[in-house]
Amino acid sequence: MDDVTAPGTAAPDLTAEVIGRLERCSDPRLRELVTGVIRHLHAFAIEESLTEAEWMAGIRFLTEVGQMCSDQRQEFVLLSDTLGLSMLVDQINHARENSATESTVLGPFYVEGSPWRSNGDAITDDLGAQPLLVSGQVRDTAGRPLVEATVDVWQNATNRLYAVQDGEQSPENLRGRFRTDAAGAFSFRTVRPVDYPIPDGGPVGRMLEATGRHPWRPAHIHFKVSADRCVPVTTHVFDSESPYLDSDAVFGVKQSLVRKLVAHDPTVEAAPVGIQGSWYTVDIDIVLQPDAPALPS
């Protein structure tokens, strides 16, 4: 009588056979990665006693994720973000010195080539009811100011949408690039950021709902900062008053990136140039670590 594999078990040689088919792969790193994927997928199926119906539901889900992708939306990145994989990869790849600014996820709404602006400029034509003056300094881990560093910033509007999501906004709204001055300083005017939900009208949103999770991100401003002979950093500044700091849908919050936005009253002090009425300020130091020294040849 032929051997029959009992339900709920797996043929012990199957995983090894599948991995063995990779022996002719000429790229050692690719072979290593695919081997790992196979090993972990097989182990997952065995550990969870995966049923055929569950396997097919997973196939349908991933198919829908792919079908949702477009030039304006990357549902697979969104899936990676909400499963914490994006932040895990960030942590693996961005070891830092203790004083260096911590990194976090880039997010799906970054656009190359934001307009160059002068320090003190507004990155939007409408500062609204809660203007925010952002100022800071870029320096290295030795405390030296970094002159001519690039500070690339972007954020969502008060309607909770980024410009790339909203045809009513200028493509350049709430975006800008700045160069630090001789003291490594930069500044710009903007609106106080607001909490917003990640795009949840697709399969990732349904996954969040099915697992009892919300889609919200805490209010933040994105920064991508670089300077000669330094390791660039992609990071956020989070508003300390956001109710979602402890439950960010993409796990991007790090305590060192949370800042209090300080309120100012125009009856007590003069408003900065270009701001009328009440306003907020936040001061940010961004510390870059030097490039690793070149190894001797």
Q: Which domain holds residue 226?
A: 98-288
Beta bridge partners of 214: none
CA distance 61 to 84: 18
Within a domain: 44: no
DSSP state of 220: E
pLDDT digits (tens, 9 = 90+) for 208-260: 999 999 999 999 999 999 999 999 999 999 999 999 999 999 999 999 999 99
Structural domain includes residue 91? no
Pairing status of strand 258-259 against strand 233-239: parallel
Residue 227 lies in a domain: yes
Residue 84 lies in a domain: no
| Residue the block writes with tokens 């790992």 | 36
Would you state the structure tokens that stand for residue 157, as one six-digit string?
């509007």
| Tokens 């007590």, located at residue | 268
Is 88 inside any structural domain? no
User: Which pTM does this prediction carry?
Assistant: 0.89
Question: Is position 257 within any domain?
Answer: yes
Say which CATH number the domain at 190 has.
Answer: 2.60.130.10
Predicted local confidence at residue 131, as pLDDT: 97
CA 221 – CA 282 distance, rounded (Å):
11
Position 70 scores a pLDDT of: 87
The number of distinct structural domains making up the chain is 1
Helix orientation angle between 203-210 and 75-82, rounded to the nearest 10 degrees: 20
- What is the pLDDT, as a whole number, of residue 281? 97
Residue 67's pLDDT is 97
Residue 43 lies in a domain: no
CA 183/CA 77 separation, integer angstroms: 37
- How confident is the model at residue 297, as a pLDDT? 43
Q: Specify if 70 maps to a domain.
A: no
pLDDT tens digits for the chain (297 residues)? 455 455 544 566 899 999 999 999 999 999 999 999 999 999 999 999 999 999 999 999 999 999 999 887 889 999 999 999 999 999 998 877 779 999 999 988 899 999 999 999 999 999 989 999 999 999 999 999 999 999 999 999 999 999 999 999 999 999 999 999 999 999 999 999 999 999 999 999 999 999 999 999 999 999 999 999 999 999 999 999 999 999 999 999 999 999 999 999 999 999 888 898 999 999 999 999 998 654 444
- Report the run of H or E that residue 73 belongs to, with start and end: none
